[in-house]
Amino acid sequence: MAVLRKTTIRHLLIIIAIFIVLTSLRLLWLNYFLPSNHQPSAQGGIVDLNNQDLLNEEVLSLNGEWLYSPGQFVNPENKGSSQKTNIEDHTIQTLPTLKGGKTIHPYGTYQLKILLPNLADNSRYAIRIPAISTASSLYINGELVGQSGKVADNRQDHKGQAAPYTVYFTNTHSEINIMLHVSNFDTSKSPIINKRISFGTASAMTHHQLITGLSLSTIVVMLILFALFSILVFLFIYRKPIVLLFTFGFLLPLADELITFDRSLLDWLHLDYVWSYKLSSIIFLGASFFFVQFMRVLLVKYHSTKTFQWIVAFYVLDAVFIIILPMSWLVPTKMIFFVLYLVSFLYVVVLALREYLENQKRSSAFIALTAVGTTNGILWGLIKSIYVFDIPVYPFDYLFVMLGFSSYWFRRFHENSQQIQKLVAKLQKEDTLKDEFLTSNAQKLWSPMNRMITLGQSIYDNPKNRLVAEDHRNLKHLIDIGRSMSFTLNDILDYTRLKEGNLHLHTQSVNLQGAVYGVFDMLRFIIDGKQIHMVSSVPRNFPNVLADENRLIQILFNLLHNALKYTSEGSIEITAREEQHMAIIHIRDTGQGMDDFVKSLVFTPYEQGQEHDEGIGIGLLISKKLIELHGGTMHIQSVQNKGSDIYFTLPLADESKQSEHTSYMFQDNTQLPTIEQGLSTVSEKHFSILMIDDDPTNLTTMKSIFSKSEYKVTTVTSSEKALTLIQQASWDLVIVDAMLPYISGYAVIERIRKQYSLLELPILLLTIRKHPEDVYTGFAYGANDYVTKPINALELKVRSRALIDLKYSIQQHLHLESAWLQAQIQPHFLFNTLNTIASLSTIDTDRMIDLMHHFGEYLHASFDVRNLQRVVPLEHELELVHSYLYIKQQRFGELIHIEWDIDENIEIEIPPISLQTLVENAIRHGILKKTEGGTVCIRIKDYTTYIAISVIDDGVGISPSLLEELQANHETACSGIGIRNTDLRLKRIYGQRLQIQSTVNQGTNVTFHIPKK
C-alpha cells in the first residue's frame, strides 16, 4: 500500500509539473505581447508620445481617458459642430471599459489626440480596432479609414458586425486626431470598448500581425491534419461512425478559433448580427461538446459513466436555447452557458486524471497530458473573460493537447501491435493444430463415408427394393450429399498438403477440351433439376496445356462446382485463348454473382460466400494455389445478380513434352507369362477391342500390350468416330479414356449403354483420378471396370481379359437360357395338338393337312438355331406367332378371335420367342379363362424413334397383387416364367422393361418398345 501511495504521489507531482510548465509558457507568451509598463496613458483625451521611442517594434496600447460623446456623431471635419443638440458635449471614458450597463444612448463618439515625437515626414502608422459592440467607423484626421458594420443613429440603418480591423496610414503632422463612431442596436448594452486599441508604426504592427497569423496558422494546420488523419483512419483502418465524428469535431475548434480571431469570416453567409452571433455560439458549443466526447472515447474505465448522458442532454438543451432565445435574453445568459462548458470540461479532466492515477499506465499518462493542456486553456479563457486581457492567439495549448492525443494513439498502437503479435503466434499455433485435426479426422472419415455411399448406392440400384418414389428420390439426394462430403474431405487433405508444401505436380501435355468435357459429365448430378446449360467454346485446334492432368481436372471441377452451386438457371461457359505462350481460360456463369465484400473473402480459407453454405470455403483457394504451382494466375470478376467470370492462366505445352507424357502414362510392363496363360476360359479366337484416346502415343503403347494372335485392336482418337464404329461392328471390349474432347469418355459410355447392356459389351475406363467421386461417376455412367493412370501394362491386360471372359460366359448363359425357353413348350400342348390332328383325319382331311403344316412350321420356328441369337428379324417371330395362333384356333374355334394391327414396311429385329410368349400368355391366362372366350389384338406401330409392339386382350385381367409382383420383378411361382424371362431380356438389351396395364375382368395390355438404330 505504501509503495502504491508513493507511486501515486510521484505521478501527481508529474501532472503538477506539466501544469506549471504550460502556465509558464503562457506567461512568457503573454509577456511578449502585452504592452510594457512604461507605456504612456491617455489623459483627458490626449496621449503624449514625445518621450516614446516609436522606432522599435513595440505596439502601444491606447489605454486611458478618451473623450466620449454619448448620443452624438461628432463631425470628423468640424469637431465643434454636432448632429444632435441639447445633449452634453462629452464625458471622460476610460478604455478599455470593464463594465457596461444599459444606456439610453445606443450610439456615440470616442475621441483621442496622439502627440507624436519629431519623426521623418510621411511616417507610416497603424491602428488596430478590436471587436466593438456592435458597429464602428474610424476617422483619422477627419478621414474615414476603416469600419465594421454600419453605424447609424437609428435601428433601421444600423448594421452590426463586431469584427476587428487594422488600418495603415501616413501622417505628415505632429499629432493624430482619432475619432471613433460606434452604435449598438443589436443588444441591450451600450456600445462599449472592452478591449485595448493598439497603435504603432506600420512595421511594428506588421510584425505583431505576423506573429499572430503564424500562431493561428499553426492551430489551423494542426486541426486540419488531425481531421485528415481521422478521414484516413476511417477509410483504411477503422470504418466506424465515431471516426467521422472526430473529423467533424476537429473542424469545430478550427472554425471557433477563426471566428474568434475575426468575426467577419461569417460575412460570406450574409447573416445579420443576431444570427451571426448565434452561429458563432453554436460553433463554440459544438467545439466544447466535441472535446467532452473526445475525452470520453479515450477514457477506458469511465467511458460508460451515466453522467455523460446528462452532459449530452444539457448540451442539446443549450443549443436549442441559443437558437430560440432573443438577443435580449441570450447575452445575459451567456455566463450560464460558460458555466456548463466549464463544468463539463473539468468533469472529463478529473476523470482523465483519476484514470491515470488509478491505472498508472503510459497510455493513461498521455490522456492526462491532454487533460492538463485542456485545463490550462480553460483557466486562461476564464481569466480572459473576467479580466480585460487582450490575449493573443496561443497555439501551445493545442500543441500539447495534440501531442498527448497522438502519443496516446501511438502508444495504443504499440500495445495493440504487441498484443496482435502474441495473438498471431497463438493463432498460428492453433491453426497448425486445426490443420492437423482436420487432416486426421478427414482420413478417419474416409472409410465410413465411402461405406455409406456404397451402401446407399446399392440400395438405390437394387431392383427388388420397394421404396416409394419420394423415398427413392430422397435416397438419391442422400447419396449426392455423401459425395459432396467426400469432395470436402479431398479439399481438406489437399489444402493441408499445399500449406505444408508436400503436393508435387507431374506435368505433361494435356488436352484441355478433354478435361473440360470430362468434368462436365462428372458434374451432371449437380445440375439435376436446374435449368443450367454447360457449354465449352474452347476451339478444336486449341493447343495442349502443360499441366498435371489430375490437378487440372481438380481445378476445373472446383471452379465449375462453385459456379453451379451459385447458379440456379442460365448457362456456364468455358472459353480459352492464347496470349504470350499462356492459355487464358475463362469460366463465365449467369449466377448470383458476388459483391465486393464476398470477393474479398473467396480466397480466405474456411470462409463461405453466403450464410448456410454447405461447403467449407477452400475450393477456390485450392484451385488458386494449384494454378500458381503450375506457374499461372487466377482472377475473379463478378457483378452481383449478374454473374461471375473466373479466369486463370496455364502454360502451353511444348512438343518436346510428348515423350515425358508417355513415360508418365505407363509404368514398366512386368511380364508374367505363366499367369497370363491361365487367364482365358474361352476357346482360342480373335477378340475385337476398341480403344479410344485423344493421344495417339497412348493408343500405340496400349495396343502393343495385346498380342496380335489373340486380339484385334482398333484405335481411334475421336469420340464421334468411336460411336460410329460401335454401330458398324461387333466388339468384345471397349477401352475408353475418361477425358476426351467434345464428347467425354463418360458421355461415350452413356451412349453405348443405351444400346448395349453391361454384360453385352463390357467397357474399361481409363482415369487419371481414383477418388471415389471419379470412380463413382464412371460406374454411374455404365463402366464395368477402371484402370487409373499411370497405367500398369499387366493390370490393363488382366482386367481387359477378365471382362472379355465375363462377356462370353454371359453369352453362353444366354444361349442356355434360350434353349431352356424352348424347353418350356408344354407336353400337353403337343399332346393336345396331335389329338386334334388325329380327330380331324376322320372328320376333315383338308383341315388336318393344314393343321399338320402349321404345326410343322411352329416346331421348325421354335427349334430354329436363330433363336440362340440376341435378336431375330420381326418376320421370323411373326411366323412363329401365326403358326401358334392357327393351332390354337383349330382347337378352340370361336373362343379365340385374333386382330392384327401392323404398320407396313417395318424392318426391325426383336429378341427371339418374345412376342410369341406374350401372345401365349394372353390366350392361356386371359381370354380362355372366360367361358365365352375373347379377342387378342397384336399391334405393331412405327413411331419416330422406336417401334411399339403391343399384345392386347379382353380377358380376365391381372389382379393388383400379381401385377405389382410382375412389375417388381419378383421371381415367384405365380408370376410366370415366360413373361419374367422376356422382361429381363428386354431390360438387358434395350434398358427398358415390359409395360403392363391391366384391369380385372376387362383385359390386359402388354407393350414394349424397340429403339430404332
The pLDDT of residue 750:
86
Query: Given this model, what pLDDT does residue 478 score?
Result: 77
pLDDT in tens, 246-256: 777 777 777 77
- For the record, the C-alpha cell of 96 comes out as 478599455
> For residue 133, is it left (φ>0), alpha (ψ between -120 and 50) or beta?
beta
Closest CA to 515 of 562, 557, 572: 557
* Residue (of 812, 793, 800) closest to 711 by Cα position: 800
Least confident of 398-407, 481-490, 838-847, 985-994: 838-847
Contact residues for 341 (Cβ-Cβ < 8 A; gap 6+): 285, 288, 378
Confidence of residue 110 (pLDDT cuts 50, 70, 90): very high
Instruction: Tell me the pLDDT tens digit for each residue of 317-356.
Output: 888 888 888 877 776 666 677 777 777 777 777 776 677 6
Q: Can you give the length of the chain in residues?
A: 1013
Q: Are 569 and 532 in contact (CB under 8 A)?
A: yes
Q: 135-139, 276-280, 855-859, 968-972: which range is least confident on average? A: 968-972
Q: Residue 85 has what pLDDT?
A: 38
* Low-confidence winner among 610-614, 783-787, 912-916 (lowest mean pLDDT): 610-614
**Helical axes 619-629 vs 469-500, angle rounded to 10°:** 40
Q: Which three cell numbers mark 280?
A: 458563432
pLDDT, residue 145, reads: 92
Q: What's residue 576's pLDDT?
A: 92
863 near 875, Cβ under 8 Å?
Answer: no
Reduced to 3 states, what is the DSSP secondary structure of residue 763?
A: strand
Question: Is residue 998 within 8 Å of 1005, Cβ to Cβ?
Answer: yes
SS3 139: strand
The residue with greater pLDDT, 522 or 83, is 522
Q: What is the mean pLDDT of residues 361-386?
A: 64
DSSP string, 928-993: GGSTT-EEEEEEEEE-SSEEEEEEEE-SS---HHHHHHHHHT---GGG-HHHHHHHHHHHHHHS--
Cα separation, 916 vs 896, whole angstroms:
16
Enter the pTM of the model: 0.44
Specify the DSSP element, H or E, that contains 256: helix 241-261
pLDDT, tens digit (0-9, with 9 covering 90-100), for 506-541: 888 888 888 888 888 777 766 666 778 888 888 888
Round the average pLDDT of the chain to a whole number and report it: 76
| Whether residue 27 has pLDDT greater than 60 | yes
Stretch 578-600: mean pLDDT: 85
Q: Which residue shows C-alpha cell 462446382? A: 561
Which of 98-102, 373-377, 897-901 is most confident?
Answer: 897-901
For the chain, percent of residues with pLDDT exceeding 90: 8
Pairwise CA distance, residues 173 & 115, whole Å: 9
Higher pLDDT, 902 or 993: 902
Check whether 423 has a pLDDT greater than 80. yes
Grid cell 496621449 is found at: 47
The answer to whether the peptide bond before residue 166 is cis (omega within 30 degrees of 0) is: no
| Cα Dmax for the chain | 178
Give the tens place of pLDDT for each residue, 671-727: 434 334 333 444 445 788 999 988 888 888 888 888 888 888 999 988 888 888 888
Q: How confident is the model at residue 869 (pLDDT cuts 50, 70, 90)?
A: low
Element containing residue 1004 per DSSP (H, E)? strand 1003-1011
User: Which of 990, 826, 1000, 982 has the alpha carbon at shortest distance from 918?
Assistant: 982
Identify the band that residue 136 occupies on the pLDDT scale cut at 50, 70 and 90. Answer: very high
Give yes or no for residue 972 having a pLDDT over 50: no
982 close to 994: Cβ distance less than 8 angstroms = yes
pLDDT of residue 648: 92
The answer to whether 153 and 181 have CB atoms below 8 angstroms apart is no
